[in-house]
Amino acid sequence: MKQNQWMSLLGLANRARKIISGEELAVKEIRNGKAKLVLLAADASDNTTKKISDKCNSYQVPLKKVENRHLLGQAIGKEARVVVAVLDDGFAKKLVTLLD
C-alpha cells in the first residue's frame, strides 16, 4: 500500500474540509448521501466494523480499510480515528486508487 500517498491526500482533504471523522458523524453522512468513500481502521471493533460495512452496503458507499486507527488519525492530524468519511468525489476517487 502506498501509505504516505493516501495519508497526505487525506490530510489535504482534511484541510479542504472535505472529510468527517468519527463513527456517528460518518453514519450520518452515509445516510444523507454526502459520503463518497468511507475509510475504516482495520483495528476497529467488530461492532463498529459491522455497523459501518452494513451502512456502506445499504447506501452503496465504497469502503476501504486502512492498517490501523493511529495511521488514520495521524493522516488528519488528530488522535486515533476509527472511521473517516470523505465528502468529495475527487478526493474519494483518488483515495480509492491509492488504497487498492
Domains of the chain as residue ranges with CATH:
3-99 (3.30.1330.30)
Give per-residue pLDDT as tens, 54-84.
999 999 999 999 999 999 999 999 999 999 9
Confidence bin at 31 (pLDDT 50/70/90): very high
Q: Which three cell numbers stand for residue 47?
A: 461492532
Does residue 53 register a pLDDT over 80?
yes
Residue with cell string 487498492: 100
Phi, psi (rounded to 5 degrees) for 21: -120, 155
- Confidence at residue 2, expressed as pLDDT on a 0 to 100 scale: 62
Confidence bin at 100 (pLDDT 50/70/90): confident
